[in-house]
Amino acid sequence: MIVLVDTLCSVAFYCQRCGQIEIADVPVFSGHGDVVLTCSHCGAEKARLRLVPRKGLVIETGCVVCGQRNRVHYPLRQLRTMTLEKIYCEKDHFELGYIGKWQALAEFLDFNAAEYDALHPHDAYNFMEHQQILLEAFNRVHDLAEEGELFCPCGGHEFTADIAEDAIHLECTRCGSSAVIPAKTPDDLKQLQPGCEVAFLRPDLIRNR
Ligand SMILES: [Zn+2]
Ligand SMILES: [Zn+2]
Ligand SMILES: [Zn+2]
What is the predicted pLDDT for the residue at 206? 60
Enumerate helices (H) and strands (E) in the chain, giving the number of each. Answer: 5, 11
Higher pLDDT, 131 or 24: 24
Helix (H, G, I), strand (E, B) or coil at 84: strand
Chain mean pLDDT for the chain: 86
Q: How many whole angstroms from 38 Cα to the centroid of ligand 1? A: 8
Q: How many whole angstroms from 129 Cα to the centroid of ligand 1? A: 13
Helix (H, G, I), strand (E, B) or coil at 191: helix
What is the predicted pLDDT for the residue at 147? 87
Q: What is the largest CA-CA distance in the chain?
A: 73
DSSP for 100-163, written as a single string: E-HHHHHHHHHHHHHHHHHH-TT-S--HHHHHHHHHHHHHHHHHHHHTT----TTS---EEEEE
What is the predicted pLDDT for the residue at 209? 47
Q: Which ligand is nearest to the CA of 90?
A: 2
Q: Are 71 and 89 in contact (CB under 8 A)?
A: no
Q: Are 128 and 18 in contact (CB under 8 A)?
A: no
What is the predicted pLDDT for the residue at 36? 92
At CA 159, angle to CA 158 and CA 160, rounded to 5? Answer: 145
Q: How are beta strands 167-172 and 69-74 bridged, if at all?
A: unpaired
Q: How many whole angstroms from 54 Cα to the centroid of ligand 1? A: 32
Residue pLDDT, tens place only, 51-84 = 888 889 999 999 988 889 999 999 988 998 899 9
Q: Per-residue pLDDT averaged across 14-32, rounded?
A: 84
Residue 5 makes CB contacts below 8 A (sequence gap 6+) with 28
Provide the terminal-to-terminal Cα distance of the chain, rounded to the nearest Å: 71
Helix (H, G, I), strand (E, B) or coil at 81: helix
Q: Which ligand is nearest to the CA of 93?
A: 2
Q: How many whole angstroms from 24 Cα to the centroid of ligand 1? A: 14
Residue 56 β-bridge partners:
52
Q: How many whole angstroms from 62 Cα to the centroid of ligand 2? A: 8
Q: Which of the residue ranges 100-104, 146-150, 163-167, 205-209 has the most confident prediction, judged by mean pLDDT? A: 100-104
